[in-house]
Amino acid sequence: MARIVMKFGGTSVADIARIRNVARHVKREVDAGHEVAVVVSAMAGKTNELVQWTREASPMHDAREYDAVVASGEQVTAGLLAITLQNMGVHARSWQGWQIPVKTDNAHGAARIRDIDGAFLIKRFGEGQVAVVAGFQGIGPDNRIATLGRGGSDTSAVAIAAAVKADRCDIYTDVDGVYTTDPRIEPKARRLAKISFEEMLEMASLGAKVLQVRSVELAMVHRVRTFVRSSFDDPDAPGMGDLLNPPGTLICDEEEIVEQQVVTGIAYAKDEAQISLRRVSDRPGVAAGIFGPLAEANINVDMIVQNISEDGKFTDMTFTVPSGDVDKALAVLERLKTTIGYDVVQSEAGMSKVSVIGIGMRSHAGVAATAFKALADKAINIRAITTSEIKISILIDGPYTELAVRTLHSVYGLDKQ
C-alpha cells in the first residue's frame, strides 16, 4: 500500500465525460489498496471566464474579491468529481483549500503557500476516504481565500504530497510526460523516462509548459517523487497501476538517474524583448540603480550583458524582459535617466530565448561550443548568452526559433533512440 496524491488539470476535467475518466484513474489506485488524495483544477476555460467577469464588473477590482470569484472554478470540479466517485462506489468527499487548511501569505492573486498541516488529510486516509481537494487556493492571514496564480494547482498538489509524506505525486495532464523538446516543433522529440529536479526546474522556468515552476521548486526542496502522466491514457491499460514506474516521466533526485545524458532537453521562450542602455556611467551602484527599480515594478529581467568602454568610464548594458513589459520598463528607465546617466535607450521586441539543458554539462567540456557552431552553420545570429552549471541560454531573432530548436535537438543526438 502506498500514499498517492493525484492532480488533474483543466483539460482533464473539461466536461462530465472527462471527469468520469478521471474518476476511473482514481478508482484504479483505490482498488489497488492505496491511500489517495486528489487535487483538481477548474474545468478548461472556466478560470478565464471568471477572470473576464471580474474585469467586466470593474477594471480596478479588489484582489480579495477577485480571489473569491476565481477560486470557485476548482470548487465546482472538486464537487463534481466527488459525486462521480461516490456513484462508482468510492468513499470520497470534496474539500476546499481553506478546509485543509492550505495556509498562504497575503498576496491575493499570486499567493505563496506558507504551511499545510497534513493531519487533516491523514485522518481522511484513516477513514478510507478519498479527499478531493480544490487546487489553486488556500487561506491567507486575513482569513480570506487566496489564489496561487496560474498553474497553482500543480503547486497545491506537490505541497500536499509533501505535507502527507506521499510516496509519489502524479500530475495528470494532456501530455504523456516530459519530452526532449516541444513535439510540435520537432516531431523526433522523445519522452524522457526520468529527469532530475534541477533539469525540470530549468525546463519549466525557460519555457516548457508541462509544470509550473513553483511546483518543481517545492518538489525539489521536499524531495517529492513526481510523475507527469496523461489523463487520456486508458485507466485500465497494462502498467497504468504500476506503483514504482507507471507510464510517464519521473521527476526525481539526480542519484536515481543511472545513465545521464550530457544534454537532456531543449527549451524555448518566445516574446522576449531586448533593451540596451548606451554609454552608462561606469561607477559602483549603477546596476543596482537600474535593476532595483525594475524589480520594484515587478518586471522580470532575465539575460544581462555588460560591455565596458576602452577608457573604463562608460558601459553599454543590455538585458531582456518579456515583450509585454517593454513599455513599463522603458517608463521606469526614463525616470532614472537623470540619476543613472545614459545617452540613449534602445529596445527591440520579437526575440526568442533557446536553452540547452542537462546535468551532464557539469562534467563535459565543449557543450557551448557545439551549440554556437551548429547555429552559425545555419546562419542564426546570437544576440546574447547566459550560462549556469546545467544550462546555456541563447537569445536569437524570433523567426529563427523553430530552426534553432530543431538544430540543437539534432546536434546533441536527442532525436536518436
Fold classification of 3-255 (topology level):
Carbamate kinase (3.40.1160)
Q: Give the tens place of pLDDT for each residue, 322-360.
A: 998 999 999 999 998 888 888 889 999 999 999 999 998
Exposure letters 83-96 (e unless 16+ CB within 10 A, then b): ebbeeeebebbbbb
Question: Which alpha helices (DSSP H) does 164-232 contain, by range?
Answer: 197-205, 213-222
pLDDT of residue 25: 97
Contact 348, 274 (CB under 8 A): yes
The rounded distance, in Å, linking the Cα atoms of 246 and 223 is 18
Question: Which alpha helices (DSSP H) does 127-262 contain, by range?
Answer: 152-163, 197-205, 213-222
pLDDT of residue 310: 61
The rounded distance, in Å, linking the Cα atoms of 408 and 401 is 11
The rounded distance, in Å, linking the Cα atoms of 167 and 395 is 40
Identify the sign of the CA torsion 230, 234, 240, 245: negative
Q: How confident is the model at residue 4 (pLDDT cuts 50, 70, 90)?
A: very high
Burial (CB count within 10 angstroms: exposed 0-12, middle 13-18, buried 19+), residue 285: exposed
pTM of the model: 0.86
As a whole number of angstroms, the longest Cα–Cα distance in the chain is: 79
Backbone angles phi, psi at 251, to 5 degrees: -105, 120
The rounded distance, in Å, linking the Cα atoms of 404 and 374 is 9
Specify the DSSP element, H or E, that contains 84.
Answer: helix 72-87
CA atoms within 13 A on the CB side of 177: 17
Sequence ranges of the chain with CATH classification 3.40.1160.10? 3-255
Sequence ranges of the chain with CATH classification 3.30.2130.10? 265-411
Q: At what angle do helices 213-222 and 197-205 cross, to 10 degrees?
A: 160
Mean pLDDT computed over 307-320: 78
Q: Give the tens place of pLDDT for each residue, 392-412.
A: 999 999 999 999 999 999 999
CATH class label, 265-411:
alpha beta
pLDDT of residue 315: 83
Q: How confident is the model at residue 414 (pLDDT cuts 50, 70, 90)?
A: very high
Q: Give the tens place of pLDDT for each residue, 245-293.
A: 899 999 999 888 876 788 999 999 998 999 998 888 777 888 888 999 9
Binding site as annotated, residues for ATP: 7-10, 173-174, 179, 184, 209-210
Binding site as annotated, residues for substrate: 47, 74
The rounded distance, in Å, linking the Cα atoms of 20 and 408 is 41
201 CB neighbour count, 10 Å cutoff: 23
pLDDT of residue 189: 93
Q: Give the list of residues 6+ apart from residue 148 with CB closer than 8 angstroms, or none.
A: 104, 110, 111, 112, 113, 136, 137, 138, 155, 156, 214
Binding site as annotated, residues: 7-10, 47, 74, 173-174, 179, 184, 209-210
